[in-house]
Structure 1
Amino acid sequence: MKNKDNFMSISYVIPTLNSASTLDMTLLSLRSQKDINVKVIVVDSGSTDGTLDVCKRWNIKTLYAEPGNMYRAINIGLRECDTEWLGYINSDDWLYSDSLTRLITHGNASNADIVYGICDFTDVHGRFMYSFTPPKCNQLISMSKTGVLGIAQQTTIFRNRLYQRLKGFNEEYYFAADRDFYMRALQSNAIFTFLPGSSVACFRLHRNQLSQKKSELMRVESKKINTTLFKSPSYYDWAIRMQWHLSNLPHYLLRFFRQSMLSGEITVTKSMHGGTHLETQSKAF
């Protein structure tokens, strides 16, 4: 029998706060990764619903972070990691079983600092609703300037060396520090690469997400990040964003038909994935 330690390794951090009802699926997806040694750390902020019992059952290392800022919890966990590749995922999302093999292999082959892929979106019960195609690597700066980064955090891994160089996630932000991290990576000339083909991860949509409950505060933070890091978008940047929207027309149509079918009535949502920002995938915390 082959030793998994001989294969590629990655560390994953999961921030939790009363996540017992969904955490099992997330942990199962990480423990089921093929040919990858996945080191998992759960950083909890005072759960009272059995979250820590779930971690004990899975023999998962747990740390504590004061409640109030998910990115503080993520930083606490990631600073404990010594693998070359890092990632984090919310406690109600999951990865497909071949995702990390594909992401790391692609990242190593291209000598990338950040690898991202395609994300599926599901309803609160895990039923598939739609996907979207992220922008190409050479479109990311233009997309960022217009306010939409277009990368789903669940599908993204990054090098430990980049995390250290950028000094982690900026805890000044409560809702959009992941957006700030990726945009600072773009500014620092980090190498991004996109993994084509099958979807990498699932993002579960529900009303308790910070991106649903605190959407106005999220917009304020995103605007501040944009103003701080980039100049105003040009006509070229807006053209790139329009091109991206056009490339996703099939996904918009699928979203319309799938959501309408599941709800039993015609359903139209304003954004690409039902109200949340593509660049900030924060859950209740």
Structure 2
Amino acid sequence: MNTPLVSICIPVLNGEKYLNEALSSIELQSYQNIEVIISDNGSKDSSMDICLEYKTTSKYPVRIYDHHTMGIGENWNNCVTKSNGEYLKFLFQDDVLYPNCVEDLIWIFNQYEDIGLVACKREILTDNPESAWQRKWIVRYGDLQEKMFQNDWDKKILDRSILKKKEFFKDPFNKIGEPTAVMLKKSIFNEVGLFNTELKIVLDIEFYYRVLIKSRIIIVNKTLVGFRLHEEQASKKGVNVHKKEFDLYINILIKEYFWELSISHKMQVLRRKFIQLLKF
């Protein structure tokens, strides 16, 4: 198997609670040609101490960048620009990679050279099974592809035509997965640009739309990562898209993707835009 360099990118902000577990999961990878890129957004807790200690013990090259920004998108983008790998694998500070994650995703890239992104299934890790919001989140977002791929499946190949399917824009809006659940060719950023820093909640979703315009995406029906829910995380705040961001999202859909949408979805976004205009 071809074994290109993979950059595991970790944007950090006050992540001390689960950061050790995230970093330890890198050391368990069956794939060995890895570098680790850590971009810290001004953490006030012990996150940097944990990262510096990890750098001294890791079997992989570890590069740590102090990057104070005003948003998560800028921190994600800093990971991208600092990376050297042919492929990028995001790992959020709360999450974990399962041992075969990198190897299995690279294997898919080796089989399909024309794809820009591979996504996998994720296990939901919860710190409080009795939490009402976490139970509600799991019901709503636990299986992102359930409504789109209802039969038994091994992998699905998506291209820009998926943007015309009305099911693609039904809740949950993210049918691909959080960044922890995807691996990307670094070259895809040269084609589609970096993450949109104006967005805070749906910036990964909008980025996937851009990838689909230029390249195919594969989703494999393997659980290769753990995605954690806990009481302090952004997911709790983002169960409902904030109104301001939703308005911006509608504007982006109309400006950048309107002709890629189904007729029914075109009508929906135009109605939303009309409602926006009536409020001014």
Quick one: which of 179, 191, 201 aligns to 2:216? 191
CA distance in 2, matches of 1:66, 1:202: 27
Equivalent residue number for residue 280 of structure 1: none
CA distance in 1, matches of 2:125, 2:95: 9
One-letter identity of the residue aligned with 1:78: V
CA distance in 2, matches of 1:100, 1:140: 26
- Structure 1 residue matching 2:73: 3-state secondary structure: helix
Greater alpha carbon shift after TM alignment, 171-180 vs 98-107 = 171-180
Q: Deviations over 1:145-191 (max 9, x none)?
A: 44623111222111011012212112122222211111011122x12
Greater alpha carbon shift after TM alignment, 225-234 vs 175-184 = 225-234
- Structure 1 residue matching 2:74: 3-state secondary structure: helix
**Change over 3 Å in CA distance of 1:149–1:20 after alignment to 2:** closer
**Change over 3 Å in CA distance of 1:137–1:234 after alignment to 2:** farther
- Structure 1 residue matching 2:39: 3-state secondary structure: strand
Quick one: which of 198, 204, 208 aligns to 2:228? 204
Shift of 1:125: 6.2
1:57 counterpart = 2:83: no
Greater alpha carbon shift after TM alignment, 95-104 vs 207-216 = 207-216
One-letter identity of the residue aligned with 2:32: I
Q: Deviations over 1:106-146 (max 9, x none)?
A: 1121112111111111212699x875263443474224444
One-letter identity of the residue aligned with 2:177: A
Equivalent residue number for residue 226 of structure 1: 253
- Structure 2 residue matching 1:150: 3-state secondary structure: coil
CA distance in 2, matches of 1:213, 1:97: 30
Quick one: which of 89, 96, 99 aligns to 1:87? 89
Please say if residues 175 and 221 of structure 1, whose CA atoms lie closer than 8 Å, have aligned partners that are also in contact: no
Equivalent residue number for residue 19 of structure 1: 15
Please say if residues 18 and 49 of structure 1, whose CA atoms lie closer than 8 Å, have aligned partners that are also in contact: yes
Shift of 1:103: 0.5
Equivalent residue number for residue 216 of structure 1: 241
Quick one: which of 9, 27, 30 aligns to 1:34? 30
**Change over 3 Å in CA distance of 1:125–1:97 after alignment to 2:** farther
**Change over 3 Å in CA distance of 1:27–1:224 after alignment to 2:** farther
- Structure 2 residue matching 1:53: 3-state secondary structure: helix
**Change over 3 Å in CA distance of 1:50–1:162 after alignment to 2:** same
Structure 2 stretches of 5 or more lacking a match?
A: 56-61, 149-155, 267-280
One-letter identity of the residue aligned with 2:250: K
Quick one: which of 124, 134, 143 aligns to 1:132? 143
Over the aligned positions, Cα root-mean-square deviation in angstroms equals: 2.8
One-letter identity of the residue aligned with 1:229: E
Please say if residues 144 and 174 of structure 2, whose CA atoms lie closer than 8 Å, have aligned partners that are also in contact: no
Shift of 1:236: 9.7
- Structure 2 residue matching 1:149: 3-state secondary structure: coil
Q: Deviations over 1:213-249 (max 9, x none)?
A: 2433254444344333333544699xxxxxxxxxxxx
Please say if residues 8 and 36 of structure 1, whose CA atoms lie closer than 8 Å, have aligned partners that are also in contact: no
Shift of 1:192: 1.1
Q: Taking structure 2 as the reference length, what is the TM-score of the superposition?
A: 0.73
- Structure 2 residue matching 1:116: 3-state secondary structure: strand
CA distance in 1, matches of 2:8, 2:251: 28
**Change over 3 Å in CA distance of 1:179–1:109 after alignment to 2:** same
Structure 1 stretches of 5 or more lacking a match?
A: 1-5, 238-285
CA distance in 2, matches of 1:183, 1:151: 10
Percent identity for Structure 1 against Structure 2: 21
**Change over 3 Å in CA distance of 1:126–1:53 after alignment to 2:** farther
Shift of 1:24: 0.7
